[in-house]
Structures are given as C-alpha cells and as structure tokens.
Chain A
Amino acid sequence: MQQDWIWGLIGGLMIGAGAGVFLLINGRIMGASGIIGGLIDGSGRDTVSERIAFLGGLVAVPPLLVPLYRNVDTHVSHTIWVLVLAGLLVGAGTRIANGCTSGHGVCGISRFSLRGIVATAFYLLGGALSLVLFRHILGVI
C-alpha cells in the first residue's frame, strides 16, 4: 500500500502520454465520454473509425497487463440498482457537461481551461456528496 502513490504517478504519466499522442498526432482531445457519446448520438459521424480504434485500444490493452498482477480486484458493485443509477448519472451528466475526468480533468486543467477547472470542481463535489449520502447516511455502498 505504501507504493500506491508511485504507481498512481506512473499510471498518471501513461494516461498523460496517451492524451499527448491523441492531441499531437491525431489533433484531438482525449475525452472518454465525448469519444463514446459521439458514437451514441451520431455527432461523431465523421470520425467513427478513429473513435472505435481508440476504444478498441482502451478495452483490449488493459487485460494484456492483468496477468502481471497477482490479482486485480475492481471491487465493482453487485447491486443492480446501484450500477444502473450510477451508469445513467455518469452517461447523462458527462454529456450535459460535455466532458468527464479525462476531457475536462486531464486535458482541460492542463491548459488552464476555466470550463475544465469548474467542471472538475463540481464533479469532485458531486462525488464527495454522493459518498456522504450513499455511504455515510444511507449506508448502501
């Protein structure tokens, strides 16, 4: 557990490298919700193959590294209503706000975008309130 922050930092550098490749080579901002959302609502019609290729890498590469770890426990919830409600909130919220942790957080804050900074402040606030409500008050997660 002591080394968690080192792995966090290394992982963060890799995430930044991924976003850097997408920006410098493809000329695009790496935002997971925008890339997925553009496929769902059709707004990304002109860049479908690029979006699918990005998501292909995102889905296919992590399992190749999983064997390097003794066990990868995602601690995912097994409660159906939690997964459904959380999914709906994340899907609708990211599209209404036009970005998530990768787009507003990683790509926005790093160029001092006011929108990115405000969005990050509010989704962190939303997350903290969510933990207060669902963990500390209701005790369901």
Chain B
Amino acid sequence: MRNFFAFLSGGLFGAGLLVAGMVDSAKVQGWLDIFGDWDPTLAFVMGGAVGVMFFVWIFASKREKSYLGSPMPGPFPRLVDRNLVLGSLLFGAGWGLAGLCPGPAMGSLSFNGWEGWLFIIAMGVGMAMAPRFKGWLSTFDRSTLEAPPCENIPEEERALARNSRAPAR
C-alpha cells in the first residue's frame, strides 16, 4: 500500500511538473533570469503547490499518524546554518546553469535524451560527494565542530578532532 501511494504521489508530482511546464529548462531559466527576459510562470506553479500544502499541513497537524499508520514528520528544525545557505547557493547556481532541479530532471528523464541522463548521473555523483564538501566547508568554521551536543564522545577525542582541524585554518 505504501508503495502504491508513493507511486501515485510521484506520478501526480511528475504530471504536475509536465503540465506546469517545469520540464522546460528554458522556462525555468526564464524565471531565474530576473535581469533579462523574466518569465513569472513559476510563481504560479509555486503558489499553487504551496497553497495546497498550506491546507494539507493544517490538516496534518491534527493527526498523530498518517492514514497508513506511520508517524507524521515532527516539527521542523529551526537551525539555519552555513550548510543550508551555501548548499542552497550551490544548488541554485546549478539550477540556473542547466534549468533542471531534481524533480523535473527525473520527471523528464524518459524524453530528455542523453542530456537528461548525463545530468542525472552527474547529480548522483554530486550527491555522493556531498559529505566530502560538507567536510571542506566545516574546515573554515571551528564553531560547527563545537556545535553538536556530543556527550558520548570523550573530551580527549573532541580535543583531538579540534587539533586535527586546526592546521587547515
């Protein structure tokens, strides 16, 4: 059952992306090209999707479990950190460059030629390399090493981790 509804959800998502024109990379780039020939269509796509989900969240907040009995997602984390900001900037740069983000890239895979596949493969490699990038980002910021509460890690090991990072600064 879970798989059936996951398939249905993915299908609705993909069909919506196609209908909205988000599989058209030129349209997406038109939306991001605010200093050029700007195309506001995507504001309607985002508005429609966010509008539906606004009511879904109100409804969801009254439930403890989903209709199939699994726990609902907890309250959203409030932490806004370097990874969120820098990761989003990198993602946006790639989104603008090719006009593809993960959803539409998958949705258009069957009719997007070798180019679509090449993008997806590169995206998979980027995802696999993300932890390494995160490590590099943290070498610029000692506070991210101190941030997580790590009661279970002995003080010696924490000091060791701090010192091993120090030369990189």
By a beta-carbon cutoff of 8 Å, the part of chain A in contact with chain B is 4-30, 32-33, 36-37, 40-41, 49-51, 53-63, 65-66, 72-78, 80, 82-98, 100-102, 104-111, 113-116, 118-132, 134-136, 141
Residue among B5, B73, B98 making CB contact with A77, cutoff 8 Å:
B98
Residue among A30, A51, A80, A129 making CB contact with B96, cutoff 8 Å:
A129
Return chain A residues, CB-CB under 8 Å to B21.
4, 7-8, 11
Instruction: Tell me, yes or no, whether B145 is within 8 Å of chain A by CB.
Output: no
* CA–CA, A90 and B57, complex, Å: 27
- Do the beta carbons of B130 and A95 come within 8 Å of each other? yes
- Do the beta carbons of A130 and B97 come within 8 Å of each other? yes
Instruction: Tell me, yes or no, whether B41 is within 8 Å of chain A by CB.
Output: yes
- Do the beta carbons of B45 and A100 come within 8 Å of each other? no
Given A18-B9, A127-B95, A128-B32, A76 and B115 contact (CB-CB distance below 8 Å): yes
* B window 43-81: CB within 8 A of A: 43-54, 56-57, 59-60, 63, 65-68, 70-73, 76-80
- Do the beta carbons of A53 and B126 come within 8 Å of each other? no
Given A24-B56, A62-B17, A94 and B98 contact (CB-CB distance below 8 Å): no
By a beta-carbon cutoff of 8 Å, the part of chain B in contact with chain A is 2-27, 29, 32-36, 39-54, 56-57, 59-60, 63, 65-68, 70-73, 76-80, 83-103, 105-113, 115-116, 118-131, 133-134, 137
* CA–CA, A50 and B113, complex, Å: 26
* CA–CA, A23 and B84, complex, Å: 23
Tell me how far the C-beta of B27 lies from the nearest C-beta in chain A, rounded to whole angstroms: 8
Tell me how far the C-beta of A69 lies from the nearest C-beta in chain B, rounded to whole angstroms: 8
- Do the beta carbons of A24 and B60 come within 8 Å of each other? yes
Tell me how far the C-beta of A139 lies from the nearest C-beta in chain B, rounded to whole angstroms: 12
Extra contacts besides A76-B119, A83-B119, A111-B54 (16): CB < 8 Å? A12-B47, A15-B12, A20-B52, A23-B72, A25-B67, A59-B109, A61-B11, A65-B19, A82-B98, A84-B118, A89-B97, A96-B83, A109-B50, A110-B57, A115-B77, A128-B32
- Do the beta carbons of B68 and A110 come within 8 Å of each other? no
Given A12-B45, A89-B94, A130-B93, A62 and B101 contact (CB-CB distance below 8 Å): no
Most A Cβ at <10 Å: residue of B65, B118, B121, B133 = B118
- Interchain residue pairs with CB less than 8 A apart (23): A14-B20, A18-B11, A22-B9, A24-B56, A25-B68, A26-B6, A32-B103, A59-B107, A62-B23, A74-B112, A76-B113, A77-B98, A83-B115, A85-B97, A86-B94, A86-B98, A87-B118, A100-B102, A106-B50, A128-B96, A129-B92, A135-B33, A135-B36
- Do the beta carbons of B96 and A87 come within 8 Å of each other? no
